Chains A and B, each alone.
Chain A
Amino acid sequence: MTTRKPKAAPIVINLFFAVLSAAILAPLLLVVAISLSSEESLLHNGYRFIPAQWDTFAYEIVLRNPLQLLQAYQVTIGVTIIGTACALLMTSMAAYAVSRRDYRYRRPTLLFIVFTMLFNGGLVPFYILVTQYLNLKDTLAALIVPYLVSPFYLLIMKGFLEKLPVEIFDSAKIDGASEWRIFLRIVLPLSTPALATVGLFISFAYWNDWWLGLLFIDEQKLVPLQLLLYRIMDTIEFISANMDLVNVNLTMAKFPSLSTRMAMAVLAAGPMMFVFPMFQRYFVAGLTVGSVKS
């Protein structure tokens, strides 16, 4: 019953994803192309996928003083690894507790967690809490602690853990396992797919964060990568929007040119693009295994 006639559905689906991939890939390629164009050709010809004039000058400028970029990398990598490990542990422990139906304060605890998704003290109290009560200003911890438990990920995790059969816990208990042992030896290994998924989200949150750095980091050595980029872009944007109306002397010549900014973006994002595909299959497995549960 094999028919040689290709079916329409797979073609449409493939076509759709081919277009989608191209749409995602194009801007990235453009960024790389801009970073390799000479500034002059950018002004005259605009953005092009194949630069009119190839030029690596932008990279020379950025790499002439790479110390800051390297330091920022160190900070971001450190924060992402430590942060993801700690946050996963905290999230899964809390999620496990509220997923157990025999936990008496399940509802109040859940309410307590969900409440923070809706209401919070606002920026200034948050700032005061971190800087004056926790004394975390200018420490790596300031970049980690605020994201340790996110109610959203906690609820995803809880949703997964609730599907684990209660009977396993009961039998483990009968065999004499303590709650800790059940959690570490049974719950965690069983929930690796969910851990991978949530861990991926958390690590992206840490990797992409500049907000905490902006608030709590004044020490140059602790500036994370994204903040470094954000500052450059944001300041250029701000200056070009405001400068015309003010009689202060600030020339745009002091700021990196467009190709230099793109070169920084490539250097900042590049390594992640190569690292990510290597882990990708685990992540994909995690995402799908989680959703197939009946």
Chain B
Amino acid sequence: MYPKKNIMLLVVLCLALVLSACSGGNGNGKNGGSDPAPGNTGTAQNGEEKKPAEELSKVELVWYYPQPAIPSDLKSVESKVNELIEPKINATVKLMPLAFGDYTQKMNTVIASGEKADIVWTSNWNFNYVQNQSKGAFIPLDELIDRYAPDVKASMPDFVWEATRIDGQIYGVPNYQTVTNREGFVLQKEFYDLYKPEAEMKQLADLAPLLEQVKQKHPDLIPFAVGRQGMFSYMNRTYGLESVLANIAVIHLDNPDKIVNMYETEEYRQYLDTMRDFYEKGYINEDAATLKSIGDYQKAGQAVGGFHNVLKPGGEAEAKAAQGGKDMQYAFTTDAYVGTNTIITTLQAIPVHSGNPERAMMLINLVNTDPELFNLLAFGIEGTHYNKKSDGSVELVPDSTYTASDWVFGNVFNGYTLAGKDPNVAKETKELNESATPSPIIGFKFVTESVSAEIANVTTVIDEYGPGLNTGTVAADRILEEFQGKLKQAGIDRVIEEAQRQLDEWKASVQ
């Protein structure tokens, strides 16, 4: 037999193999991605509204998008979709839903290997829009949108389109839904009604009287539920800041030209002191620094208070389900606002190796303008997967073989209302979208590639110090300084500098 040493060597070699297989990468670093859309077939067609379908040869489009689970009855929906779209654009579509958890990894291989794909879903939180654009994965869409999807363009406010622009070009068509964020407390209504303080609650500290009451009278409940990340990254607006790079760089809203290190702001220090105070008084769950998610406390109905950064019309009713059936009440700390990152959360892009960008855009146009098509994708086939009720709302069949998240496909305002949901919510959301204050730096996107090593180091430091500090488990006095020093060593200043440089450049290009 082999001596033990050799076996160990083999094991190590094997691990090396596995690791190198995992780190296989995105060598496909074409930059720019500025090839114009290929195939301007024929002469200028601007006079006609649309090309008649007969002129187009038949093609099959491939559409990748993520879903919570892959529906088992995809085929019947797909063939219905094709019945609808084939007469209109002489194309069929192959639907390729992937699970959310797999999406980024799978799409990286699809894009890098040049596999056939005509429409791909992208966002700022899964299969990153900015990052992939900078790799040259997508084609610019301005011309295609003007030509084939003018109605879609008109259906959304201008700032929504501004937010999608990179280097002045649109690379993704947003799926229009709620584009605003609004921060505030989410409290169990019962206690809110009982102990609501006189003064409006606009800051974290304003919540203290209510929490004190809950603490005194209901020792079995958690007055303020906090997970290990703490709350500060959700509370930027409440403190008059706006995030440029999540958890690292922010701007002050009253001085939007200057990017600063989030952990050196006065606001962060204030936050830490308030949290420490809360923790010492026992308002915060003791396991906060190690708790991955407060979801279980909420489901058990034990979390009286929490903070959330995406409060939206109709959200209180939705929150009820996640909070063990307790009625919830919002207490807003900010007005509704829009920033780049509240908009680019769901988009359709056309990859560079799509053979049929025009047809892909026609399909995007159809999905966003034809409610029948959108509802088919979002809810399935009437009678099989859902039933229409007399008031126009729809009810999903129990254990349906086709369920989907509608905001992945297109304009959700074209969709049916689910039974039991307030039909006014859509209207309110739309109004809020149009009336919200846009961020002073809307449209700016930080391309992090050149400082990715520093960001990785900084993130490691944050993971080390963040949970203790952000949850109030340890006092800021001594530790904060140590934390700031470690961040500097990790290169946070270079990240801020690079962000500032890009912001200055962007400012110059917009004006």
Contact = CB atoms under 8 A, between A and B. Distances in A.
Contacts of A251: 318, 321-322
B453 interface: no
A152 interface: yes
B24 A126 contact: yes
B312 interface: yes
B25 A248 contact: no
Interface string A239-283: 110101111111111110000000000000000000000000000
B102 A231 contact: yes
Contact of B25 (A122, A159, A236): A122
B105 A214 contact: yes
Contact of A123 (B24, B295, B403): B24
A80 B100 CA distance: 28
A68 B234 contact: no
Of A239, A245, A293, chain B has the most CB atoms within 10 Å of the CB of A245
- Judged by DSSP, the binding face of A is helix
Interface residues of A, number: 56
Given A68-B72, A254-B403, A128 B99 contact: no
Pick the 4 closest A-B CB pairs, nearest first.
Answer: A123-B24, A122-B24, A234-B101, A235-B101
B407 A249 contact: yes
Contacts of A141: none
A58 B177 CA distance: 34
A247 B345 contact: yes
A155 B101 contact: no
Given A244-B234, A247-B181, A248-B346, 17 more contacts: A43-B296, A121-B24, A122-B23, A123-B22, A132-B115, A152-B14, A159-B1, A231-B101, A234-B101, A235-B68, A238-B101, A239-B101, A240-B292, A249-B405, A250-B405, A251-B318, A252-B322
B20 interface: yes
A240 B295 CA distance: 9
Of A236, A247, A250, chain B has the most CB atoms within 10 Å of the CB of A247
Interface stretch (A5-13, A98-106, A112-120): A112-120
A175 interface: no
B113 A127 contact: yes
B113 A131 contact: yes
Interface in B57-92: 68-70, 72, 74
B28 interface: yes
Given A214-B102, A244-B234, A251-B322, A124 B26 contact: yes
A248 B106 contact: no
Contacts of B321: 251, 253
A124 B24 contact: yes
A178 interface: no
20 contacts: A118-B13, A123-B22, A124-B24, A127-B113, A152-B14, A155-B10, A231-B101, A232-B69, A235-B101, A236-B101, A238-B101, A242-B125, A244-B310, A246-B123, A247-B312, A249-B178, A250-B405, A251-B321, A254-B403, A290-B1
Contacts of A159: 1-2
B25 A123 contact: yes
Contact of A250 (B16, B68, B113, B299): B68
Contacts of A238: 100-101, 126
A163 B1 CA distance: 8
A239 B99 CA distance: 10
A218 interface: yes
A285 to B, nearest CB: 16
A2 interface: no
